[in-house]
Structure formats: structure tokens, C-alpha cells
Amino acid sequence: MTTTPTPGFTTADAAELYQVPNWSGGWFRVSDKGQLEATTSPGLHVPLRAIVDEIVDRGESLPVILRFPQVLAGRVKHLNEVFGQAIAEYGYTRHYQGVFPIKVNQRRAVVETVASAGYDYAHGLEAGSKAELALCLAQRMHPDALLCCNGFKDDGFIKLALWGRTLGKNVVITIEKFSELDRILKQAKALGVRPAIGVRFKLHARGSGQWEESGGDQAKFGLNAYELLRVVERLKEEGMIDSLVMLHTHIGSQITDIRRVKVAVREATQTYAGLIAAGAELKYLNVGGGLGVDYDGSKTTFYASMNYTVKEYAADVVYTIQETCKARGVPEPIIISESGRALTAHHAVLILPVIDVTGPTRNLEDQELVAPAEDSHQLIKDMHEIVQNISMRNYREMYNDAVGDKQTLHDLFDLGYVTLQDRARGEALFNAILRKISKLIQSEKYVPDELEDLQKVLADKYICNFSLFQSLPDNWAIQALFPIVPLDRLNQKPTRQATLVDITCDSDGKIEKFIDLRDVKATLPLHEPGKQPYYLGVFLMGAYQDVLGSSHNLFGKVSEAHVTVRPGGRFNIDLFVRGQKARRMIESMGYEEPMLRDSIEDQADAALKVGTLTPGQEHELLEDYGEELLGYTYLEYEES
């Protein structure tokens, strides 16, 4: 699809406008043709619009998630290799092994890709429930790769983990509370299996960002120093001190400040050294998760960013552990980290079709604001005069007059002194006043306080075919930010300012905060939709969003396409997984399809008897009802 460039606006301007180089990590770029491309490795890139067009041409419906396994594999490789480089640079005597916590994204394509890409690095998996453990045990993993069992456990969880060791898996059961030790010892004796035990310690150090409260003394998981030493003593008593192989710590997800990482790692290493001194024979030091993702590209300690790179993270972890071990005279441990967000976020893109646009000035801009009639209300005449006379010198005074006139207009309407026609005319004039003032102050360095939200007030609402609660729950629940960019027309200057709304019957189903290098923007610059479909991509949404989504309004999981990029801008859609059907969503609420069909058939028969349906209409009704039960839960339009 070719577009006519806007004079004076380049694709470099578009890349800067949407901050693509800052948040993409090199995995996405704006091409010279004004299209957003996925770049899975040097020389391998493909326009996202081409993939979407192929999906539509196949007769599939949108929205859709595009998954790029090559990006996911590349993230696994990058993490392991930067740790390898840091270990070589500092002369660290042991090695690094990553562990992927599958709670971040349990989708089969994700887990299997991580396990495969990480095989040569002995990159392992982490399970936090019995279901996750059952899933992890079935994966092909390197014999040395760790399978960490975290979270609270019952006998069944522990027993399954011990059976994993008999299968040759390097399963480590992490003690999250002191009472779990007895359960582990009891089940191990019953099965005759020697356990590998880890213990989570509550660090005093805490992370930074939205999950800061998950660390520290009041953390949900972990043992205190006294309990830690009691574990060592108990295992000595049982003659099983060699079973304690790992110290595990964690200070929260999405750590924004590298200084917090270094403080936590130093405390963890001091604790490791103390356990060695107490007689433990630890092999692994697990520094937990928290490696961040720079969602807004600002490289700051803002909650949607991080002030460090993956390479800097690895170097600081290795150096801090080595420095502390040397000072305490203890052997260096194998370094473990449980990064999930940093591995998975980049690989998935949610494609949103824009299906309509609404806004306070949508139907006004092409309408000539003619002079009011003689019998129009005086307020209408006053507001029309304001429109004609606004200038740089008086726009603030005129704005305040217009606000007062609008309020008076509404008050008089409520009392019956203003007609509906005059109210409509007055509101149109008020919006024209706002639009004219907005244009006047665009170049102003200082904007009066009362006009700061003017752009948001005037913003269009781009209606997108998706459910915020299903596909981007973190945006709704914790105001997480995700980069959002048009897939094409990036050689044309956007002329609209917009917010996004979904198709749920919920006023919270909207996106009104967007990434910015200096602040959070209230609107997103977009193009005027034309005859061709207009698509937006939501990026960095591969972590947690797939698994946290809710069934609000019974909108189900979105279809997904697994895409491999080939040389020359070509690509393969290796797998297309259709989204959930309406029938499945309804059944998840306790209904049964036959019961639903029977009810509709009974009602149709009754309508046929009283004459409100003809036999032909009855047949068509039942056929349409059945088709919708088997249809996509999202709106289905024929793309032009």
C-alpha cells in the first residue's frame, strides 16, 4: 500500500513522534516507505501491514495478535550472552543460568520457544502452581537447566516436583514459608527421592516502580533471617544439608532503578555468604526477577521505564556478587535470574482495527458557521461573535466568556427558555471556539492553566475493535503504558489528536494515556481514517497481557498469528490460532449450547404459531443464531 508523503514531514519525524527507536530495542523500525516493520535480525524485516493484509485476505477476522518467535528467541539469546560477556570480562569463576517464570506468559508457543532457544544455555523454567509444574515437566530442557518450583505448595505439588527429579529434571523446590520444609522432607522420604531445596529470603532491600511493595520485610513470600538459619540446622539434623542448593531472593517486577538492583544483590550475596559460614553447601544464588522493559523509551526511573540496559544489568549483578564473595572469602555461586517480562514483552503486537471515529468537532469542521438568525437567542449571537473575534491578544478572555455562556445556555435549557435547536447551535459554536483557541496556542511556550486540557477535550475518540479488559488488562488495572503506532502512513503527518475506546459496554474501556519522553501524553497523534482500513499496533504487550485478560462482556481471547520473517521482506504465517468463539465464552459461564438452542427453537415455534414469524424466517433465525454461537466474539466487518 503506497501513500503520498506530506511535504516537510519525513519517516524520521514519524519515528521520533512515536518514539520507535527508544522503546523498540531494534526489533521494530519505520521504513523509508512509511511502514512499521518488524526486524527479527539484521537484514530480516517485514511490514506489519503486509502480514495483516495477508490475514484478512485469508478470510480471517481482526483483532489479532502477531507473534514473532524469532524476536522471543533473540531476547533469550541476548540475555544469556550479555551475562556471558560480563562473566568473561570480570573473570567470574562460575556461570549464569536463566530461568523463565511461565506465569508471565504460559502460551504454548511462548514456553516452547523459550525452552528451545535457551537449550544450549541451559535456560530453565519456573512454575508457581501445580498446573504450571505439570506443563514445565513436559518440556524438553537441557539436563542442567533448572526447573524452579516457587509459590505456596501442598503435598501434591511437592510430590510432583520430586517425581520430576526421577525423570532427570533439575527440579529445585523453593521453601516460601518455614512449614514447607517438613512437607518436603516427609514426601522425599516416602518416595525415596533426594530433594534439591531452595529457600527464599525476605530481603530488607526493595525494588522501585509499581511493584516496590512486593519486596521488603512485609513481602508475601520468604523467610526471615532466623527462619533461614533454622532451615540449615534442621537439614543438618536430618543429614541432608547437601540438599540445600539455592538461595532465592526477589524484590519485585519491572525494577526501574539499577541502584536498587545493586543494593538488593549485595544483600542477597551477604546472606549467601552467611549461609555458607553456617554450614550450607549452596550452589546457586537466584537474584530473582525484576529486569525491566523501557515501555516509554525515556530511560528514566519512571514506572514505565528503566534507567539501565540489559547489558548494564548483567554487569552490575556479576560484579556485585563477585565483589561481595571476595570480601567474605566464599566461593562464587552459579548466578540465576528469573527474567520473564524482559524476554517476552517485545515478541507480541496487538493489531487494532479502527472501525469509527467520534468527537466533539467531527461533524462541525465541514459545516459553515453561518450567522445566527434574527430570532436566535442572544447567547447564540454572543457566542457567534466570539468565534469571529478570537485573536492571540484576547483568546483567554474569550475562552472564559464562552465557558460562562455555555453554562448559562444549559441552565436556561433546563428551565425551558432555550430550544433544543439553540442548544445544539450553542454547543457547536462552543466547540468551534475551543478548536480555534487550540490552533492559536499551539506555538505558545506558556499555556494558561485552564487551557492545559484543551487538546484532550477536543480529541477524537477512535473506536477500535477490541476489549481493553481482555487484551490490555494492565492498562485498565494499573495504568500501564504501551507504545501505540499506526502500521502505515508514517510518511504522512498526523492531523488528528485522539484517545482510543474499545467496543465493551464499559466507560472504563478506553486508553487516555500515551508514552512520551518527558511526561505522559493525554492524546495520540493519528491520521484521518480514509477509505482504506486504518490499523494501530500496540507493542511490548507480550508479558502478562495474554494471561491476565478478563471475559468482560464475554469478549474472548484474540486470534493470533505466529510469523517467521524471511529474507527479502517475505514472511510465513506458520500457525494461525483462531480466537475464542461465542459458544465457548458462554459455556465458561455455566451455560450449555444445546440448552440455548432448545430455548430459541421453543420460542421460535411459539412465535410461528402466533404468526410473528413465518416458516422461512424461523429457519433463517435459527441459522443466524447458530452461526453467531460459532462466530468470533469481536465485531466482524468486511475489510475494503
Q: Is 285 annotated as a binding residue?
A: yes
- Whole-number percent of the chain with pLDDT over 70: 95
Cell 520430586 belongs to which residue?
A: 162
User: Residue 637: what pLDDT?
Assistant: 77
Q: Which residue has the higher pLDDT, 2 or 343?
A: 343
Name the band, by pLDDT with cuts 50, 70 and 90, for residue 85. very high
Distance CA(619)–CA(623), nearest Å, equals 6
For 584-604, what is the mean pLDDT?
A: 94
pLDDT at 366: 43
Q: Is 288 annotated as a binding residue?
A: yes
Does position 209 have pLDDT exceeding 70, yes or no?
Answer: no
Q: What is the pLDDT of residues 240-292, one digit of tens each?
A: 999 999 999 998 899 999 999 999 999 999 999 999 999 999 999 999 999 99
307 annotated ligand binder: no
Question: Is residue 418 a known part of a binding site?
Answer: no
Residue 69 preceded by cis peptide, ω within 30: no
Angle at which helices 615-629 and 593-610 pack, to 10 degrees? 160
Within 8 A by CB and 6+ apart from 208, the residues are 255, 256, 257, 260, 301
Residue 607's pLDDT band (cuts 50, 70, 90):
very high
- Is residue 286 a known part of a binding site? yes
Q: Higher confidence at residue 42 or residue 328?
A: 328
Is the pLDDT at 368 greater than 60? The verdict is no
Mean pLDDT of the chain: 93
For the chain, percent of residues with pLDDT exceeding 90: 83
Question: Predicted confidence band at 215 (pLDDT cuts at 50, 70, 90)?
Answer: low
To the question of whether residue 289 is assigned a binding role by annotation, the answer is yes
pLDDT computed for residue 444 by the predictor:
76
Catalytic residues: 505
Q: Which strands make up the sheet holding 36-41, listed edge to edge?
A: 28-30, 36-41, 44-47
Residue 365, pLDDT > 90, answer: no
Selected residue with higher pLDDT from 185 and 217? 185
pLDDT at 1: 61
Q: Model confidence at 338, in pLDDT bands (50, 70, 90)?
A: very high
The answer to whether 295 is annotated as binding is yes
99 labelled ligand-binding = no
Residue range 227-234: mean pLDDT, rounded: 96
Mean per-residue pLDDT for 77-94? 98
Is 224 labelled a binding residue? no
Cα within 13 Å of Cα(228), Cβ side = 27
Show the cell assigned to 341.
517480562
The Cα 388–Cα 375 span in angstroms is 20
Q: Average pLDDT of 426-437? A: 89
Q: 252 among the known binding-site residues?
A: no
Q: Is 508 annotated as a binding residue?
A: no
DSSP codes of every residue in 52-119:
HHHHHHTT--S-EEEE-HHHHHHHHHHHHHHHHHHHHHHT-SS-EEEEEEGGG---HHHHHHHHHHTG
